[in-house]
Chain A
Amino acid sequence: MLEQQLVNGFTLGLIYALIAVGYTMVYGVIELINFAHGEIYMLGAFLTLSFISMGLPLPLAVLLAMLAAAAIGVLLDIIAYRPLREAPRLAALITAIGMSIFLQNLAMIIWGSRPLPFPKQALPAFFSEPALTFSDVTISWMQVIIYAVALLLMVGLNLIITRTRVGTAMRALAQNQTAAALMGINVNRVISFTFALGSAMGAMAGIMVSMYYNTMYPTMGYLAGVKAFAAAVLGGIGSVPGAMLGGVVLGIAETLGAGYVSSPYRDGVAYAVMILVIIFRPSGLLGRAVTEKA
């Protein structure tokens, strides 16, 4: 029982982690809680659905959906956030929430407000079969795929951040925007790249969730987004490895909390984590402490 819940919690946690890196990277470079990130996750699922219904094969549909989500993320920044870089922070935050509401309702208009199943025929039949079984723990193929894809994406992301020029630029930007600009970094390009990367990963999370639970609905991004954000806070907002760790910890905590403490309060775990982490350890598990300069 416990083992099975750990497995399920780990699966969920990887999904949170994939979304959380998007929050944390964007927060790192422009200090904005990108509320619309949850909607990008939702759009990933729906775009895949639409591409499949156009007759595209699953891998191509997924790839296209990720690319489209990346493009939407970049556009979101260029159209909505970029004009407000010098404006009061609240204006940007309200814009982010406004875009989240806009995208969510746009999805309702396009795809309807009722939950839709993931097109079964597009998935290979073995997905829902158990891949591994130890005594009373089963890991389905779908879970194995989630592990594999999530780990692959995260390793890839880490390589991009630590080994490439644009990754270095991202980190420089997170440290100090003006200094980075002075060093000749094209700030807007790097920010766009950050949005693209975060959005693609968030979309992939949405796609895998809709396969895993076999459902998608326009409001699915809200709760998932909030929880992933809690994961980013738990890991230390601004820290990419922190977001990954935070996601996994939160996924497991939530599943165990629901199983052993109180299942109606399942969603409360994320909120409680948010509040407690901020009160007792605002820098999160892996974040830097914030100091004020005189």
Chain B
Amino acid sequence: MDAILTVDGVSKRFGGLMALSDVSFAVERGAITGLIGPNGAGKTTMFNCVAGIYTPTDGRILFADGVGEPLNVAGRKPERMTALGVARTFQNIRLFSALTVLDNVRIARHCRTSANFFGSVLRTPSQRAEERAIIDAAMENLDFVGLGETALSPAASLSYGDQRRLEIARALATDPRLILLDEPAAGMNPRETEALVDLIHAILGRGVTVVLIEHDMKLVMRICKRLVVLDHGIKIADGSPQEVRANPDVIEAYLGKGAAHA
């Protein structure tokens, strides 16, 4: 398997709580991987470790951009992970709500642009060209998720489903190779969820690898090529949706003790 991301023995401790203990799995390049598990299993914590928000207490996180050697990126700052090509969305939407839809996405071009204070004040030709390119890239991503026409509205005025899509557009605008989606379908109606499925496939079509946390099992089983199951910070299963669905540990984790044998 050509792994874009390899999580190797990662643990994360919060005080006395092991949110992740010795978790290992690999994410296949160019596929959709699902990260599932009951509430509090440590899924978001895993994303935060990969995205650089948290430094793992232990273990390695290898990121292979497909060109050079895989790099151990555990403990890198979030902005450096973004620059490397790892983007993410948040479970509890984190938009820049006082700003416009466009500005939310324009900010995401930060790590791919370079104008500084002096360039901004003097409005040098290169700064102006860059600003134009930023708008073009932002609009391209907004159109990609279907929000192009709302570009100049306040982000806070979007519907819940649109806010989730705006987060995706923002993440995509950083030009990632790997995108981490934390419960993108949460709070969406069935029609919005369908559109989301198409969107995720389109993201894949752009050559971006997708990892997805999702509680909607039907959705997960349908679109993921591989699943990783966490429970209480421990990886309990890993494999194709069919394999995982048949795994007694998984059934037990979701339905409680004894369920697997009933």
Contacts and interface: CB of A to CB of B under 8 A. Distances in A.
Interface in B31-74: 44-45, 48, 53-54
A290 interface: no
Interface in A269-294: 294
A294 B55 CA distance: 13
A241 B44 CA distance: 36
Contacts of A294: 44-45, 48, 53-54
A293 to B, nearest CB: 10
Contacts of B48: 294
A37 B254 CA distance: 53
A294 B53 CA distance: 8
B12 to A, nearest CB: 11
A294 B50 CA distance: 13
A266 to B, nearest CB: 40
B241 to A, nearest CB: 28
Nearest to B51: A294
Contacts of B44: 294
> Is chain A's interface secondary structure helix, strand, loop, or mixed overall?
loop
B98 to A, nearest CB: 12
A294 B44 CA distance: 9
B17 to A, nearest CB: 12
A292 to B, nearest CB: 9
Nearest to B182: A294
Nearest to A292: B53
Interface string B105-124: 00000000000000000000
A247 B21 CA distance: 43
Nearest to B15: A291
Nearest to A291: B14
A294 B46 CA distance: 11
A220 to B, nearest CB: 42
Interface in A240-290: none
Contacts of B53: 294
Nearest to B45: A294
Contacts of B45: 294
A294 B48 CA distance: 8
A294 B45 CA distance: 8
A294 B182 CA distance: 12
A24 B112 CA distance: 45
A90 to B, nearest CB: 15
A13 B54 CA distance: 40
Interface in B193-245: none
Nearest to A289: B15
Nearest to B53: A294
A227 to B, nearest CB: 33
A255 B220 CA distance: 67
A294 B51 CA distance: 11
A55 to B, nearest CB: 59
A291 to B, nearest CB: 8
A253 B72 CA distance: 47
Nearest to B44: A294
A294 B49 CA distance: 11
A294 B54 CA distance: 9
A294 B43 CA distance: 12
A268 B54 CA distance: 38
A178 to B, nearest CB: 15
Interface in B147-192: none
A108 to B, nearest CB: 41
B76 to A, nearest CB: 16
B48 to A, nearest CB: 5
A289 to B, nearest CB: 10
B45 to A, nearest CB: 8
Interface in A106-138: none
Nearest to B90: A294
A133 B56 CA distance: 60
A246 to B, nearest CB: 24
Nearest to B92: A294
A211 B48 CA distance: 57
A294 B14 CA distance: 12
A87 to B, nearest CB: 16
A16 B148 CA distance: 59
B183 to A, nearest CB: 14
A294 B42 CA distance: 12
B218 to A, nearest CB: 28
B50 to A, nearest CB: 12
5 contacts: A294-B44, A294-B45, A294-B48, A294-B53, A294-B54
Would you list the 5 A-B pairs with minimal beta carbon distance, nearest first? A294-B48, A294-B53, A294-B44, A294-B54, A294-B45
